[in-house]
Amino acid sequence: MPKSESKFEGERIAKRLARAGVCSRRDAERMIAEGRVAVDGKVLASPALNVTDANIITVDGKPIEAAEETRVWRYHKPAGIITTSRDPQGRPTVFDKLPPEMPRVVSVGRLDFNTEGLLLLTNDGELARHLELPANAWLRQYRVRVHGVIDPKKLALASNGVTISGIRYEPVKIVVEKEKEEGTNHWLAVTIREGKNREVRKIMDYLGLQVTRLIRVAFGPFPLGKLPRGGIEEVPRRALKESLGKFFSKGMDKKAMR
């Protein structure tokens, strides 16, 4: 069969939307189900479609931009804003706070409303999906201020993994920052690998500790560093390629290799 007739030509529409920075693959499928995506003027009813550069793709009637070179930003999320593009309750969102010159970006995972610290943003939804996959096992590091009595035996339980409300959480590393700290307020250094929904808070609750502050200080090789609260800084191209070499080597962003 000639290449031009192959049903495998191009790439899936959801992947193209993700790579153009419109949204994640999962959100793309939802947008298609809502009738918001059209290809060459025809509204899609299913994500089971391959597209090429020759197709005109629109979302809510507006053409999407061509996939750009993959870029990543570090953002110091303050507490009191939500990691979503829209909030029915009208709360301020991460995307409301970004500089006007920023391109369209998606977040790599989420931080809940009251959690602060490092949030990665990218213009490549396919990269966001890659970084979020549990199989890639990127470490997430947090500083956690808790109120309660530290029980070494309970900390040891978490280091072997625990099951909470029927959900299994993989081993968590917890280090008390000041061993001789007095009173019932403590700072802990917590490292997790999975990043399940509200994982750190649920584990602290399981240990009988009340979280009073939660700050993500690193995601994989990307640190929060001295980035000020509310600050945003692009990851240099060289550092990005060094950290994400496997992603680029799969040919998922050939432009980024130039």
Q: Which residues are catalytic?
A: 112
Which residues, in sequence order, are CB contacts of 67 under 8 Å at separation 6+? 16, 19, 20, 21, 124, 253, 255
How many Cβ atoms sit within 10 Å of the Cβ of residue 203? 22
The residues facing 145 across adjacent strands are: 187, 213
Give phi and psi for 180, each to the nearest 5. -100, 15
Q: Is 187 exposed, middle or buried (0-12, 13-18, 19+ CB in 10 A)?
A: middle
Structure tokens at 112: 């809940």
Q: What DSSP element (H or E) covers 145?
A: strand 140-147
